[in-house]
Structure 1
Amino acid sequence: MKLYLLGQTMRYEAGNLCFLFFPGEKIEEETDLAAHGDFYAIMRFKRGKTQTHVLVLLGRAGKKSRAHATFSAEAKNPVKAGEHALGRAFLTAGEALCGFRPPWGILTGIRPVKLARELLASGLDERQAALHFTKDLWVSPQKATLCLHTAREETRITALSTPQSASLYISIPFCPTRCLYCSFISQDVEKSKKLLPAYVEKLCSELAAVGALAKKLHLRLETIYMGGGTPTSLSAPMLTQIFDTVRAAFFLDYLREYTVEAGRPDTITPEKLAAIKAGGCTRLCINPQTLDAAVLQCIGRAHTPEQFFTAFAAARAAGFTSINTDLIAGLPGDTPEGFARTLDLLLPLAPEGVTVHTLAMKRSSRLVSSGGARYDACGQNVERMLSDAYGRLDDAGLAPYYLYRQRNTVGNLENTGFARPGHEGLYNVFIMDETHTILAAGAGGVTKMKQPAGVRIKRVFNFKYPYEYLARFDEVLARKQQVEAFYDGSAAQNPRG
């Protein structure tokens, strides 16, 4: 797709608008209008004395559309006003060309809930905020309601954090197999068995170093999340070794939540569950993604629905009283009727949390690299799946508390976490909202430091792959010294009276 920006330089916003209707397309910015071909987007700003006129021209496969919008020269925030006018014109032209309107309107960012919280914090009530979403941003009433409901819960959760709060992410980048849609840096555990003992040893060494830093900086550890990959790819003794290290390295008196992403049901055993329970885990994730056997086979999940039920029952028997389950709407081979059957089977188990993801086309996934990606911009069937799921989860007593969006999801739709009161995944909210510092250990981990009394963010990256993490471990530890330097610098910028 050829993109022309005339009289303006909103390249990032223009590209995101193109993805709303033409996901997965390669966008090439051009200047020669005579060579625009048959697939193009032309976006022109023409400034007058009192108004700027925005014109959008779209063309594809012989069809054309055009639309315009205006914004005042006296707008308080001319950049934002220009983005909104461009969005309105683009959506009008896109709807005329493609026959649908994205339910999130002109919003292209990953955190619509952050905007909702800002509106409420500015003094608007929920009715006024909803009107801004629907009237000014062209968000559907259903999505506006979902966003504002989630914003209430996020505000309550983020209020738990203090300037000295922090969370911990423990990366276990190993899986039994690689799912069709997955883009995470994870290794096939069967091929990587020889790495596991050394990886766990180095991980524990890094955890000890991070724990020493946290104590020195007087950080209050609020949540721990062990993810991957699939942490339960490790043996029970390896898991115990990690849990024992965390207990020895960190001050845990302020800990509110300890999540372990068991993830794949085929990796869960009574011995591992016992180790996780003894290690202090308070929240367990068991993620079927779907309970349709044919769809599971299609996406490369080497387990059956029956294995999920067995794992769930074993977790209950082991004493876990807060279990989250992940589902993905839009998987290859799935239908609205099939997704409904998954809910029919899942809801009687009464999980404390259900996170509903929309399938995303990740460039590094096998789904995309094999040419099997389905860039469905309209996503009508997936929207049916989400709408049905949200209604049924609400009826079951679960409320939305966490929501974010990704690029190239089917229908430009969202990922939403639902939970029973008191079982929300606090870590999920803290990391998405950038509420406080997230300390990370393990291959692929990213430490994200948040200025205690400000908004500055700094990231420290670990090496992505386990073999690189092991070979360059001294560098991993050296990089962690940036955490102390960041906090020392923040203290200097914000001296206490």
Structure 2
Amino acid sequence: MIKLTCIGHDTEFEINNIIHLFEPYMEGEYDLQSTLEGNEASAKLLKVGVVLYECTRQVEPADNEIKLKKNRKLVLKEAVYDVLYQLTGKQMPWGMLTGIRPTKIVHDYQKQGMSDKVLRARLKDVYRISDAKIDLMMEVAKAEEEILEKNQKDEISLYIGIPFCPTRCVYCSFTAYSLEAKRNQVESYLDALCKEITFIAEAKKDHPIRSLYIGGGTPTSLNEAQLERLLKHIKASFNLENVGEYTIEAGRPDTITREKLEIMKAMDVGRISINPQSMNQKTLDTIGRHHTVEDIIEVFNIARELGHDNINMDIILGLPGEGVVEVRHTLEELKKLGPENITVHTMAIKRASRLKEQQDDYQLAEATKIEQMLDISQRACRAMGLAPYYMYRQKNMLGNFENVGYAKPGYECVYNVEIMEESESIIAAGAGAITKMVYQNGERIDRIANVKSLEDYIGRIDEMIERKREGFEKYR
């Protein structure tokens, strides 16, 4: 337990994030003083008034106040990181990096003309990032750049949200409603959603569409007629011939039928997700998945039979009760299926999830185990011919690690890269969806949010459309 005192600055939030990294490795109570005096940042760690460790760093000069403020925050965090490292002897794989988009740092420094050699040294010496994670950052950043450099002027991506699931998994915190409880509202929701889609199609008719992504929730929670209705409306609203990528996160195998897969194929959907999370039946039962491992395999094979040739499969490391053996088994089973994409998530304990409320009831993997699982996953994916192409991090992830998307060459998900790197505007429709208007090459991002509540979205759809109308006009 650490009591933090900040003197001469207001970087408390960022420093608390650094403290949070080390908390699992600390015992006892300490006082931490973080001080900024002129261009000198210092940190002192005390126990019962006695200084145990201290560190002082000089703020790097800058040619403007914005950069100078950024440099001050950096050395304040650096000083705190170093005293906590002295206390615990623990180096974090991601060093003192806590942001969700690690590769943004790489892109930013490369835009400044920094060479890879200098960049690597900075990531290691300043941010304290391990060599393995630097290698991953650089590889992913290069893959992302190959996608981002193809963006066209005035191009957009689209997101359409379906906030329904058959049941709620223990780790989930997304805006998603039980289909059992909300079944009578699905048609009303589609009425409102189609109305919003119609508005977007007209308002953005002169903008080329790079990618279209239908997510959730679980979009295939819709029955066959509802799914066909939505996809027909999308096809009638947009010129899909000009859409570079069209994805549906089919997600849970217990919501996927042959007819739904046929509908998606007929409606020009080019990429789907079939997400097992684990190929261990005991785990599926524990996390609230009402399907079997055999169901996953059967649905995958049907999709292949119908011509779906770009399939993603998600897995989660650190699920309750799982260790290295279970993860290795999952990857062996996925290898037999041969998906074009595998997205490897590290378990994050979300505040709004049932797992957070009942955390003591589940046996979660330790950080050292997660690191082994990540290494096994990376090796397995590479052995399948898949390379990392996008990455992001979340708060409260086990071991403070990362999520990584792997893909065969040419099968990288464009939408995943666009949403992570915020390099073009993404127009979002549906309950809880947030539109991001990107300007000045990502230097400015304005958000237009829809209400999260299902009932409010349905009842206030005209207001949601008006928000977009005003936002599009304001940020034109």
SS in 2 for 1:348: helix
Partner of 1:67: 54
Q: Are residues 65 and 386 of structure 1, via their aligned partners in 2, closer, same or farther at CA, if it must alter by over 3 Å?
A: farther
Aligned length: 471
Conserved? CA contact 2:438–2:445, under 8 Å:
yes
> Which consecutive unaligned segments of at least 5 residues does structure 2 have?
none
Partner of 1:3: 4
Instruction: Confirm or deny that 1:15 pairs with 2:3.
Output: no
Q: Are residues 73 and 121 of structure 1, via their aligned partners in 2, closer, same or farther at CA, if it must alter by over 3 Å?
A: closer
In the TM superposition, what is the alpha-carbon distance from 1:255 to its structure 2 partner? 0.8
Conserved? CA contact 2:60–2:71, under 8 Å:
no
In the TM superposition, what is the alpha-carbon distance from 1:89 to its structure 2 partner? 2.7
Instruction: Confirm or deny that 1:42 pairs with 2:32.
Output: yes
Instruction: Confirm or deny that 1:382 pairs with 2:370.
Output: yes
| Misfit runs of 4+, over 4 Å | 62-65, 72-77, 373-378
Partner of 2:233: 245
- What whole-Å deviation, never above 9, does each CA across 1:264-291 have from its counterpart, x for those lacking one? 0111100110111111111100111111
In the TM superposition, what is the alpha-carbon distance from 1:328 to its structure 2 partner? 0.7
Distance between the aligned counterparts of 2:50 and 2:395, measured in 1? 25
SS in 2 for 1:163: coil
1:112 paired residue among 89, 94, 102: 102
Instruction: Confirm or deny that 1:349 pairs with 2:337.
Output: yes
Amino acid at match of 2:449: F
Distance between the aligned counterparts of 1:89 and 1:39, measured in 2? 19
Distance between the aligned counterparts of 2:330 and 2:119, measured in 1? 34
Q: Compute the TM-score of the two structures, normalised by the length of structure 1.
A: 0.89
SS in 2 for 1:390: helix
2:77 paired residue among 48, 70, 87: 87
Conserved? CA contact 2:160–2:215, under 8 Å:
yes
In the TM superposition, what is the alpha-carbon distance from 1:64 to its structure 2 partner? 8.4
1:56 paired residue among 16, 24, 44: 44
Conserved? CA contact 1:357–1:414, under 8 Å:
yes
Conserved? CA contact 1:375–1:410, under 8 Å:
no
- What whole-Å deviation, never above 9, does each CA across 1:430-469 have from its counterpart, x for those lacking one? 1111111111111111111112666321111112122221
Distance between the aligned counterparts of 1:376 and 1:64, measured in 2? 35
Partner of 2:250: 262
Distance between the aligned counterparts of 2:361 and 2:113, measured in 1? 43
Partner of 1:203: 193
- What whole-Å deviation, never above 9, does each CA across 1:29-64 have from its counterpart, x for those lacking one? xxxxxxxx963452332537xx6141231669x998
Distance between the aligned counterparts of 2:401 and 2:408, measured in 1? 23
Instruction: Confirm or deny that 1:282 pairs with 2:270.
Output: yes
Q: Are residues 236 and 58 of structure 1, via their aligned partners in 2, closer, same or farther at CA, if it must alter by over 3 Å?
A: farther
Instruction: Confirm or deny that 1:359 pairs with 2:360.
Output: no
SS in 1 for 2:181: coil
Amino acid at match of 1:193: R
Q: Which moved more, 1:321-330 or 1:78-87?
A: 78-87
- What whole-Å deviation, never above 9, does each CA across 1:286-314 have from its counterpart, x for those lacking one? 11111111111111111111111111111
Q: Which moved more, 1:266-275 or 1:190-199?
A: 190-199
In the TM superposition, what is the alpha-carbon distance from 1:212 to its structure 2 partner? 0.8
Amino acid at match of 2:238: F
Instruction: Confirm or deny that 1:370 pairs with 2:358.
Output: yes
Instruction: Confirm or deny that 1:170 pairs with 2:170.
Output: no
Q: Which moved more, 1:293-302 or 1:444-453?
A: 444-453
Instruction: Confirm or deny that 1:333 pairs with 2:334.
Output: no
Q: Are residues 234 and 66 of structure 1, via their aligned partners in 2, closer, same or farther at CA, if it must alter by over 3 Å?
A: same
Partner of 1:439: 427
Conserved? CA contact 1:164–1:452, under 8 Å:
no
In the TM superposition, what is the alpha-carbon distance from 1:344 to its structure 2 partner? 1.0
In the TM superposition, what is the alpha-carbon distance from 1:327 to its structure 2 partner? 0.8
Q: Percent of pairs identical after alignment? A: 38
The CA RMSD measured in Å over matched residues stands at 2.5
Conserved? CA contact 2:176–2:216, under 8 Å:
yes
Conserved? CA contact 1:439–1:447, under 8 Å:
yes
Amino acid at match of 1:135: D
Distance between the aligned counterparts of 1:75 and 1:456, measured in 2? 21
SS in 1 for 2:242: coil
> Which consecutive unaligned segments of at least 5 residues does structure 1 have?
26-36, 489-497
Q: Which moved more, 1:335-344 or 1:95-104?
A: 95-104
Q: Are residues 351 and 282 of structure 1, via their aligned partners in 2, closer, same or farther at CA, if it must alter by over 3 Å?
A: same
Conserved? CA contact 1:401–1:418, under 8 Å:
yes
Conserved? CA contact 1:352–1:419, under 8 Å:
yes
SS in 1 for 2:142: helix
Amino acid at match of 2:427: L
- What whole-Å deviation, never above 9, does each CA across 1:372-409 have from its counterpart, x for those lacking one? 38898971110110011112211221111111111110
Task: Map 1:127-166; keep pairs closer than 5 Å.
Answer: 127-166=117-156
SS in 1 for 2:240: coil
Instruction: Confirm or deny that 1:189 pairs with 2:179.
Output: yes
Distance between the aligned counterparts of 1:454 and 1:139, measured in 2? 25
SS in 1 for 2:180: coil
Q: Which moved more, 1:156-165 or 1:318-327?
A: 156-165
Instruction: Confirm or deny that 1:125 pairs with 2:126.
Output: no
